[in-house]
Amino acid sequence: MSDSQLVLEKMDGRIRAWKECGDSRFVFLSCYKMMSTNMLLALSEGEFHDREWVNELLNHFADYYFDGLSCFDCGDRTPEVWLAAHNATLEKELSEVQMLVLGVNAHINYDLVLALYDMLAPEWESLSEEQKKLRYEDHCHVNSIIARTIDAVQDSILEPESRFLAFLDVVFGRVDEYLISRLISSWREDVWNNTQGMLQLANEAEKEVFRKKIETEVLQRGVTICSV
């Protein structure tokens, strides 16, 4: 079994356990699992320039999520963005959409910057301009997969949990999915720009200052999400 399939099984196990005990964190992870499944399908169908690189990034990205989760569950030091997201999901009265966007905020705006940096830093200076362009195109193509995943996410995960979202679909059509897709695409563009900024930094002290700046922005955005 491939590493990617093992990640999906790990997600499935956690989702089942959380549903059984009424842990609301299943909402984000269910969406994440659906997105990961569609990413693997896109990889198998040759939708990316560099299949192996994207697959490695997909697994490395998931490691950030599960490492933070393990720390939180064990009471160890947890990344601040995930400490806030997990606590808010468990303790606050949030809608399913808020739970989803809260997790997306932490995982994309924070984890993805670090995961993408980890992948790009060792190779960036040696890549040609064309190769850098292809890396960026592969990053952007994920937005297309997100867009075609959002409808299924609502129908199978969010809508059963929210009569209000079902009402919005009847009255307004798929406007809410479109907005979520556009929001995530915008955030992913910020992720690329932040990663590029980190790649330009000369030493670890500067990188840590930059990381803290991103962390603060993600935490502030999380507060806003919870207050909507």
Quote the pLDDT of residue 101: 87
Domain boundaries, the chain: 3-227
SS3 of the chain: the string is: CCHHHHHHHHHHHHHHHHHHHCCCCHHHHHHHHHHHHHHHHHHHCCCCCCHHHHHHHHHHHHHHHHHHHHHHHHCCCCCHHHHHHHHHHHHCCCCHHHHHHHHHHHHHHHHHHHHHHHHHCCCHHHCCHHHHHHHHHHHHHHHHHHHHHHHHHHHHHHHHHCHHHHHHHHHHCCHHHHHHHHHHHHHHHHHHHHHHHHHCCCCHHHHHHHHHHHHHHHHHHHHHHHHC
Per-residue pLDDT of the chain (228 residues; tens, 9 = 90+): 688 889 999 999 999 999 999 999 999 999 999 999 999 999 999 999 999 999 999 999 999 999 999 999 999 999 999 999 999 999 989 888 889 889 999 999 999 999 999 999 999 999 999 999 999 999 999 999 998 887 666 655 555 445 444 433 433 344 455 567 788 899 999 999 999 999 999 899 999 999 999 999 999 999 998 987
Quote the pLDDT of residue 157: 53
